[in-house]
């Protein structure tokens, strides 16, 4: 079949147009992105649950007490150190109580050594306190204070127990409060027997109470040495030399191999700056010298 030239031209144009349309549609399809899928709505925000409330603190246990009174209401006096008596009232574990007993045993030896090193002082002060000697003048109060200082320890028992990690700090503080409450009760009991308007009697009471409350352990140590000497009944009639001989023999028999010399007292705790805590009047630092005056000028103007 013969195709005319005009018909062939029309067909070629149609084919070219069709090809152009096909190629142009592909390019358009590559430029226009597809429609994204619909976005799901965000879930509604829910706040987190509040934290569980902390359990309420355990109520503080009341301190035990050494204060006991007889049927007449009079205070029952404890023989020895109130802190040592209060130790038995603390809530301690068996391990803590064993540690405390070891500290206490070493402390008893230390006080026996202190008494032997200051035996004339211990015997004289004991005589003053047991015979009712007056401690009501400034001179006598100074003398008694000097004697007490020789027989007193560097720190209370409660502080040493805490320092040596024998008992927790909380129990050591409780022990200190127990002893203070008892000592306050003793002081108040003694005041009942004194006319508070009599200043001489009040001064004597204060001096005597201060001496007694700081020598509990020293006099307990003296009594232990006297009891162990086997000469308790005749001790008062012995000469000073025989008293010392009897007590030193008692110490050696009770603590074989232990030296009679007491250990050095514990140094006072230092502040963060390194200054001892009990240094109340430290020497002030020296002021730097002023710079020399410039040359050609007179100083001191």
Report the pLDDT value the prediction gives residue 184, as an integer from 0 to 100.
Answer: 94
Residues in a beta bridge with 276: 270
Taking alpha carbons only, the member of 226, 135, 216 closest to residue 179 is: 216
DSSP 8-state symbol, 298 = -
Report the pLDDT value the prediction gives residue 113, as an integer from 0 to 100.
Answer: 96
Angle (CA) 133 135 136, round 5°: 125
Show the 3-state SS of 188-202.
Answer: HHHHCCCCCCCHHHH
User: Tell me: the pLDDT tens digits for 21-50?
Assistant: 555 555 555 567 778 888 888 888 888 888
DSSP 8-state symbol, 237 = G
Where do the structural domains in the chain lie, given as residue ranges? 82-254
Q: What are phi and psi of 282, to 5 degrees?
A: -65, 150
Low-confidence ranges of the chain (pLDDT < 70): 1-31, 265-301
> CA separation (Å) from 8 to 3, 12, 22?
7, 6, 21
Show the 3-state SS of 2-62.
Answer: CCCHHHHHHHHHHHHHHHHHHHHHHHHHHHCCCCCCCCCCCCCCCCCCCCCCCCCCCCCCC
Report the pLDDT value the prediction gives residue 17, as an integer from 0 to 100.
Answer: 52
Distance (Å, rounded) from C-alpha 82 to C-alpha 63?
A: 14
CB atoms within 10 A of CB 276: 12
Q: How is residue 253 written in tokens?
A: 């028999």
Q: What is the dihedral of CA 26, 28, 32, 37, to 10 degrees?
A: -40
> CA separation (Å) from 50 to 35, 47, 228, 276, 297?
44, 9, 69, 50, 78
Distance (Å, rounded) from C-alpha 23 to C-alpha 181?
A: 107
Report the pLDDT value the prediction gives residue 275, as an integer from 0 to 100.
Answer: 38
The residue assigned the tokens 């987190």 is: 48
Report the pLDDT value the prediction gives residue 300, as an integer from 0 to 100.
Answer: 45
Using an 8 Å Cβ cutoff, are 200 and 214 in contact?
Answer: no
The residue assigned the tokens 């009697």 is: 201
Report the pLDDT value the prediction gives residue 250, as an integer from 0 to 100.
Answer: 95
């Amino acid at each position: 079949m013969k195709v005319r030239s005009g018909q062939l031209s029309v067909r070629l144009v149609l084919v070219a147009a069709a090809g152009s349309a096909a190629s142009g549609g592909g390019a358009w399809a590559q430029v226009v992105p597809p429609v994204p899928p619909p976005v799901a709505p965000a879930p509604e925000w829910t706040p987190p649950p509040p934290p569980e409330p902390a359990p309420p603190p355990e109520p503080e246990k009341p301190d035990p007490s050494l204060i006991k009174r007889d049927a007449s209401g009079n205070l029952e006096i404890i023989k020895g150190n109130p802190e040592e008596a209060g130790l038995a009232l603390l809530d301690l574990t068996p391990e803590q109580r064993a540690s405390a007993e070891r500290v206490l045993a070493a402390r008893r030896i230390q006080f026996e050594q202190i008494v032997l090193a200051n035996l004339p002082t211990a015997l004289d002060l004991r005589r003053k306190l047991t015979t009712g000697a007056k401690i009501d003048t400034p001179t006598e109060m100074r003398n008694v204070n000097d004697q007490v200082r020789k027989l007193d320890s560097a720190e209370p028992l409660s502080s040493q127990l805490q320092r040596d990690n024998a008992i927790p700090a909380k129990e050591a503080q409780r022990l200190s409060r127990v002893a203070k409450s008892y000592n306050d009760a003793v002081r108040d009991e003694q005041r009942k027997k004194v006319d508070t308007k009599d200043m001489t009697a009040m001064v004597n009471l204060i001096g005597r109470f201060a001496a007694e409350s700081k020598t509990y352990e020293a006099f307990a140590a003296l009594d232990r040495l006297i009891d162990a000497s086997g000469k308790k009944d005749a001790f008062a009639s012995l000469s000073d030399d025989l008293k010392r001989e009897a007590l030193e023999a008692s110490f050696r028999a009770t603590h074989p191999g232990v030296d009679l010399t007491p250990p050095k007292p514990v140094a006072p705790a230092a502040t963060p700056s390194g200054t001892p805590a009990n240094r109340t009047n430290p020497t002030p630092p020296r002021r730097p010298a002023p710079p020399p005056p410039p040359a050609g000028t007179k100083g001191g103007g």
